[in-house]
Amino acid sequence: MKKILAILLIAALTFQHVKADEGMWFLAFINKNYSQMKAMGFKLSPKDIYDINHSSMKDAVVTLDGGSCTAELVSPYGLILTNHHCGYGEIQAHSSVEHDYLTDGFWAKNRSEELPNPGKTVTFLVRMEDVSERVNAELNDKMTEEERSLSIRKISEVIQKEAVGPTHYTAQVRSFFKGNNFYLFVYETFTDVRLVGAPPSSIGKYGGDTDNWMWPRHTGDFSIFRIYCGPDGKPADYSTDNVPYRPKHFFPISIKGVKENDFAMIMGYPGSTNRYLTSWGVEETIENENAIRIEVRGMKQNIIKKYMDKDPKTRIQYASKYSQSTNYYKYSIGQNKALAELKVVDDKKAIEKNFEKWIKENKAERAPKYGEALDLIKKAYKDKSEMDKVQNYWFEALYLGPEVFGSGFQLRRLQGALASGDKEAIEATAKGMEGQMDEYFKNYNVQVDKELFVSMLTLYRDKISKEYLPGFYETIDTEFGKDIQKYADKLYATSILTDQSRAKAFLANPDAATLENDLGYKAAVSCLDVYFALQEKMDAPNALLGKGMREFVAGWIQMEEEKDKNKLYYPDANSTIRLTYGTVGGYKVGDKVYDYTTDLKGLLAKEDPKNPEEFSVPDRLKELYKSKDYGPYGENGRMVVCFTSNNDITGGNSGSPVLNGTGELIGIAFDGNWEAMSGDINFDNKLQKTINVDIRYVLFIIDKYAGAKNLIDEMTIVRE
């Protein structure tokens, strides 16, 4: 174990001669990448990026809502930029038929107009620390996977508690390289985050689902929030007494423009990659996870869209839900296509073959450590294949299907309180749930949910063996003649989960009998019973997979390190802060050459009166284009909208700052290109591109389109 740790630590701190566009690098060790970054155009020092004793760029980059997106500070008064799609839920929540901010946009012309968003959070990294040696000292090769996990959890809790002491900070110990390395992250989280500005969807979501994951792109994908804190500068819940947060660092904004081969780096919180995935894992992703997501979400989206098109209120209610669903629906289609076209399974098999050959070359030393790794992985995927299928259908069709299930899951806390007989606990729990239910019904249409219910339950029964059917299917068979529609009619006509007045009446005077006999709640609980039973069955194969992947990755790194001792390996993304660096530029697919920028002229050319939902252009934008009134943000009579760079990002990076060599903001990352959708599993240096909204277009929309000069005035604009 100590030798494995030494190898990984050497690898993690050594310079790697790879193309700069690939890699999600730890900020704390970025000095090892410095010479390459400097040669490419980086003009600052590693300490300008990460420093725990002085302000640095890390202090201007935050994660939203625990990892859903990234944002960046752009003023000394807590102003942050992120993507429109990252703020879409809040924009939708504040919208109504009377005040349709999704359609019309929203701009606070002073701070009193900024809108609070209960539940939204902004989290800063305070510091990170390598604790691998301390954690691995508690582990040994004789442990079972369960014993290993328990030991990791125990020592992690001790380290976390020591790290934060009596402060308001939080801490996490996270594993890397499939459980071989461990790092401590200390965070500070703010809970008063207010909506400041957002363009209309015709700008912020221009191109809609058609252009999603595609290039060329013309989307002004940005929104604006502000962080508030208590008068003492510390995090505080929403209050009129709170003041704008004064950050340690914020990014100056360059309007000098981007040129091909300009240095570009992105800092953010990438969610999840699987670059070390084996051939069996890739096959499971293609045939099971992605295929099921495509099938189920396609059905759900057709139902939701039908109702959205009929009614303005329903359109607003389901806008965010629909957008979230379609995003990874299309991603899965693109990923499967790219994985097949780029022959990623074959590439992974070649790696595995080389790994086996390497072990045989020194079998006596290597086989005891790594010889069983691939066999364990192969067996794990075989043993859990059927359960993976069930889990994916359960997640997509039931958990993410009709909302009655998710709402029912929330009521389990109340059932626990009722079972305890503690009147104070019952009253407090019920009162706490009143707000949750109000929010639930605000964006709920019973007709939509009922049709989803019938459709998803029918699909699940058709696809899944009887062993994994929730208990309510027996009720359908015995009491409703196997007719799901009749069961749905009764449930939706009586359940407290499908009618706000029934929910309010119940929460005002909750009792166990009413809850436990409610058809909606009983259905939700029986869904959870399947989930828990499934998780228990998957414990054994998941343990095999965990051990196999840990040994495989450790062995693979040793194999590669023996070939090149100057090689650095970055761990898979896991919602911890990373930096990626590369250059601005286009790309080529076959004979097709893609330029690295798009502009307002191209945006107007895409306008389609037959598809106003996705390709409608606001009159004000047309006027500005016609008059070429771009202010200081245009470029030789041209208004650049988006540009591409070869940075390495994934989900969670949405909203990340794109920075030039002097640490100035030049864009906001928001997407990847269709041809390289396999990037989370297999990065392709020739194809992989990050799509960014040009910061000049962002400022142009704020200033010239919206007239929100008050926001421009608090930013630091660099013109030369």
Query: Which residue has 């919208």 as its token pair?
Result: 95
Asked if the model's pLDDT at residue 538 lies above 70, the reply is: yes
The pLDDT value given to residue 297? 97
Residue 390: per-residue pLDDT:
97
Q: Do 8 and 554 contact (CB within 8 A), yes or no? A: yes
213, 144 Cβ separation under 8 angstroms: no
In which band, very low, low, confident or very high, does the pLDDT at 565 lie, cut at 50, 70 and 90?
Answer: confident
Residue 121, number of CB atoms within 10 A of its CB:
18
Tokens of 594: 């893609």
Q: Is the pLDDT of residue 10 over 60?
A: no
pLDDT at 68 over 50: yes
pLDDT of 17 > 80? The answer is no
Higher pLDDT, 569 or 718: 718
Per the residue annotation, which of 21, 59, 75, 85 is the catalytic one? 85
Which residue among 51, 211, 221, 703 is the active-site one? Answer: 221
Average pLDDT, the chain: 95
- Structure tokens given for 550: 């840990």
**Closest residue by Cα to residue 177 from 551, 541, 543, 540:** 551
pLDDT, tens digit, 9 for 90 and up, residues 616-638 = 999 999 999 999 999 999 999 99
In this predicted structure, the answer to whether residue 267 has a pLDDT above a threshold of 80 is yes
Q: What is the pLDDT of residues 477-528, one digit of tens each?
A: 999 999 999 999 999 999 999 999 999 999 999 999 999 999 999 999 999 9
462, 455 contact by CB (below 8 A):
no
Average pLDDT over residues 588-616: 96
- Asked if residue 541 has a cis previous peptide bond (ω within 30° of 0), the answer is no
For 290, which DSSP code?
A: I
The strand pair at 597-599 and 640-645 is best described as antiparallel
pLDDT greater than 60 at residue 9: no
What is the average pLDDT across 283-296? 97
Check whether 5 has a pLDDT greater than 70: no
Q: Which residue is catalytic, options 654, 656, 671, 694?
A: 654
Look at residue 16 in the predicted model and tell me its pLDDT: 36
**Locus of tokens 């293609």:** 286
Q: What is the pLDDT of residues 677-686, one digit of tens each?
A: 999 999 998 8
Which uninterrupted H or E stretch holds 434?
Answer: helix 423-442
Residues 6+ apart with CB under 8 A from 629: 623, 704
- Categorize the per-residue pLDDT at 569 as very low, low, confident or very high, splitting at 50, 70 and 90: confident
Q: How much is the pLDDT for 567?
A: 79
Residue 85 among the catalytic residues: yes
End-to-end CA distance of the chain: 54
* Separation CA 13–CA 573 (nearest Å): 17
> Percentage of residues in the chain with pLDDT exceeding 90?
95
Section 307-331 average pLDDT: 95
- The yes-or-no verdict on residue 37 having pLDDT over 80 is yes
Per-residue pLDDT, averaged over 293-297, amounts to: 98
Token couple for 38: 């400097």
Task: Classify strands 717-718 and 253-254 as parallel, antiparallel or unpaired.
Answer: parallel
pLDDT of residue 21: 66
Q: What value does the mean pLDDT take over residues 369-398? A: 97
Q: What integer is the mean pLDDT of 4-19?
A: 38
Q: Determine the pLDDT at residue 3.
A: 40
| DSSP, res 31 | G
pLDDT tens-place string over residues 87-125: 999 999 999 999 999 999 999 999 999 999 999 999 999
Residue 564: its pLDDT value, please? 86
Q: Is 654 a catalytic residue?
A: yes
Quick one: pLDDT at residue 14? 32
Q: What is the mean pLDDT of residues 456-465?
A: 97
pTM score of the predicted model: 0.93
Q: How far is the C-alpha of 477 from the C-alpha of 251, rounded, in Å? A: 62
User: Is pLDDT of 720 > 90?
Assistant: no
- List Cα–Cα distances, 449 to 31, 434, 436, 524, in angstroms: 53, 20, 18, 14
